[in-house]
Amino acid sequence: MNTDNKVWFITGSNSGFGRCLTEAVLAKGDKVVATTRHPEAIEDLVKQYPDTVKAVNLDITKIDEISQAIDTALSTFGQIDVLVNNAGFATMGAVEEIADEQIRYQFEVNCFGTLNVIKAMLSYFRQRKSGHILNVSSAAGLTAFPGMGIYSASKFAIEGYSEALAQEIAPLGIKLTLVEPGGFRTNGPSSMTTPDCQIDDYEETVHKLIKMMSDSSNLPGDPDKAAQAMIKVVESDNPPLRLVLGEDALEIVRQKIESLEKELKEWSEVTLSTSFENDQTSSVG
């Protein structure tokens, strides 16, 4: 296990997983560049850890701010060892209900914002031939539910480019892990957005589910324990590509695998019927 003190660059560090992880990393003696659009929300941590945390204003949709934040991190602590892409939010509603501008902004933050930070950081990690990227996805990035289609799509996108990127950067000494939590007691539900107009036909399905999810007090996951799990992954010499967090998330993923296997088996004859027939031509001398 690699337990050397590290410098972490964490986006969305003012709340939720980002706040819990920032606190846990500082408590263990590592340093944190805590980026957020609301740096005033972490002033207490700056006062408590004046030598090991640097609060930086950052909107991950603004490329110039990302470059400035990385420069500030390097000038403050001299290095960056871990990038945690945590910043994001959820748009909840039936696919038909969500306005185009809401869909685009969901992708602008979750998908493209995360990608902006990764691309800006990679040149530095490549020069060092080291680094670890944690992309906070979701169990909803592996399977989708009614009312979560657009949010899931943005997380599915992160899953896709992360899986490819992990293979591209592994030979360069850089690691990548997708973090896939289930339901945790964070402020996520309070920050989710919903459509301006709702369609009555979805009242008994989508709308009921959204109301149920809007209260995180009964969710099973402890975000402080999630933070410790992420630290453990970073300290591992052989970290996983995917870190599923929570009993509910594990069950969701297992159900997805079982469903895929069942459909593959039931439809394998049709699947295999689409190839060209073997070419039976022969030459005549």
Per the model's pLDDT, the better-predicted residue between 155 and 15 turns out to be: 155
Residue 62 annotated to the active site: no
3-11: average pLDDT? 91
* Segment (H or E) for 87: none
Q: Of 15, 137, 138, 154, which residue is the catalytic one?
A: 137
Burial class of residue 62, CB neighbours in 10 A (0-12, 13-18, 19+): middle
Residue 265 annotated to the active site: no
Q: pLDDT for 39-84, tens place per residue?
A: 999 999 999 999 999 999 999 999 999 999 999 999 999 999 999 9
Give the pLDDT confidence score for residue 279 in this predicted structure: 61
Give the pLDDT confidence score for residue 213 in this predicted structure: 74
Give the pLDDT confidence score for residue 31 in this predicted structure: 98
User: Residue 210's pLDDT band (boundaries 50, 70, 90)?
Assistant: confident
Residue 191 annotated to the active site: no
pTM for this entry: 0.91
Q: pLDDT for 132-148, tens place per residue?
A: 999 999 999 999 999 99
Question: Could you identify the residue written with the tokens 């957020």?
Answer: 36
Q: Is the pLDDT of residue 272 over 70?
A: yes
Tokens in use for 27? Answer: 């408590």
In percent, how much of the chain has pLDDT > 90? 83
Task: Print burial letters for 260-269: b (CB count within 10 Å at least 16), e (below 16).
Answer: eeeeeeeeee
Q: Of 6, 31, 54, 155, which residue is the catalytic one?
A: 155
209-223: average pLDDT? 76
Reported as half-sphere exposure (CB side, CA atoms, 13 A), residue 261 has a value of 6
CATH (one of 3.40.50.720, 3.30.9.30, 3.40.50.300, 3.40.1190.10) for 7-247: 3.40.50.720
Q: pLDDT for 156-176, tens place per residue?
A: 999 999 999 999 999 999 999
Backbone angles phi and psi of 77, in degrees to 5: -115, -5
Q: Of 151, 154, 162, 202, which residue is the catalytic one?
A: 151
Residues β-bridged to residue 35: 56
> Could you tell me the residue ranges of all domains in the chain?
7-247
Tokens in use for 205? Answer: 């399905």
Closest to 180 in 3D by CA, of 216, 224, 229, 237: 229
Q: Is the pLDDT of residue 242 over 80?
A: yes
